[in-house]
A and B are shown apart, each in its own frame.
Chain A
């Protein structure tokens, strides 16, 4: 299994509070991704990173920001959480981009509930 951990694994918070989720990898892969999984929608890309300090938006980036100050860590921040951000969040990594045909490896997920 790829060395990917996510923390916390479960979190309950209140509307309007800031939340930061952490993804940590031990594979030294260049690409890191944040997805959310919701019933009826499948997984959707929030943001991704293609190197330290290099990030870009995905399909559902509104309300989220990311940072990557080290190769191994990719942080997802909800500046002011809303109930619509209740979801399961997955981090993924890949050595190269999709163009290169590399598979993505997924972390165990973080279940976030916003009350």
Chain B
């Protein structure tokens, strides 16, 4: 069974700082890796999806990387803003399922 771990569980940074969120998974036989954002009391919003054959994906200030061989993915957020405060979830994709980590709660301090 796929196990997905996210460290740290919580992170506070001052506005403008660059930061990295980490995700690790135990089974490298994944179809892709996704990063989501969840605001309190809300659903999940897809941020980036990295296909298993890719190494990274970029969207605006976000860059996600994938290293299948080591079972790791990172989400890099550049020039953080208070609006980035949320919980960030990574999920590895099986054939018909997503295996989620428990998330990193990010607080960006103005």
List chain A positions with a Cβ less than 8 A from chain B: 31, 33, 35, 40-45, 48, 50, 56, 58-59, 90, 92, 97-99, 101, 103-109
Ranked nearest first, the 10 interchain pairs of A and B with the lowest CB-CB distance are A42-B100, A98-B93, A106-B44, A106-B43, A43-B100, A42-B102, A108-B43, A103-B46, A45-B97, A98-B31
B:67-107 near A, CB below 8 Å: 89, 91, 93-98, 100-103
- Which residues of chain B have C-beta atoms less than 8 A from A41's C-beta? 102
> How long is the Cα–Cα vector from A59 to B45 in the complex, in angstroms?
22
What is the number of residues of chain B that contact chain A, defined by CB distance less than 8 Å?
A: 26
Establish whether residues A43 and B51, one from each chain, have CB atoms under 8 Å apart when the complex forms. no
Establish whether residues A108 and B102, one from each chain, have CB atoms under 8 Å apart when the complex forms. no
> How long is the Cα–Cα vector from A45 to B92 in the complex, in angstroms?
13
Which residue from chain B places its CB closest to the CB of A108 in the assembled complex?
B43
Contact A98 to B32, CB < 8 A, known contacts A40-B102, A58-B97, A59-B97: yes
> B42 interface residue, CB < 8 Å from A?
yes
- The minimal Cβ–Cβ distance linking A64 to chain B, given in whole angstroms, is 15
- Which residues of chain A have C-beta atoms less than 8 A from B45's C-beta? 106
> B34 interface residue, CB < 8 Å from A?
yes
Which residue from chain B places its CB closest to the CB of A98 in the assembled complex?
B93
Establish whether residues B96 and A101, one from each chain, have CB atoms under 8 Å apart when the complex forms. no
Which residue from chain B places its CB closest to the CB of A105 in the assembled complex?
B46
- Which residues of chain B have C-beta atoms less than 8 A from A58's C-beta? 97
> B64 interface residue, CB < 8 Å from A?
no
- The minimal Cβ–Cβ distance linking B90 to chain A, given in whole angstroms, is 10
> How long is the Cα–Cα vector from A59 to B42 in the complex, in angstroms?
23
Which residue from chain A places its CB closest to the CB of B32 in the assembled complex?
A101
> B4 interface residue, CB < 8 Å from A?
yes
Contact string against A for B residues 38-59, beta-carbon threshold 8 Å, 1 for contact and 0 otherwise: 0001111110010100000000
Establish whether residues A101 and B49, one from each chain, have CB atoms under 8 Å apart when the complex forms. yes
- Which residues of chain B have C-beta atoms less than 8 A from A109's C-beta? 41-43
- Which residues of chain B have C-beta atoms less than 8 A from A97's C-beta? 95-96
Establish whether residues B43 and A107, one from each chain, have CB atoms under 8 Å apart when the complex forms. yes
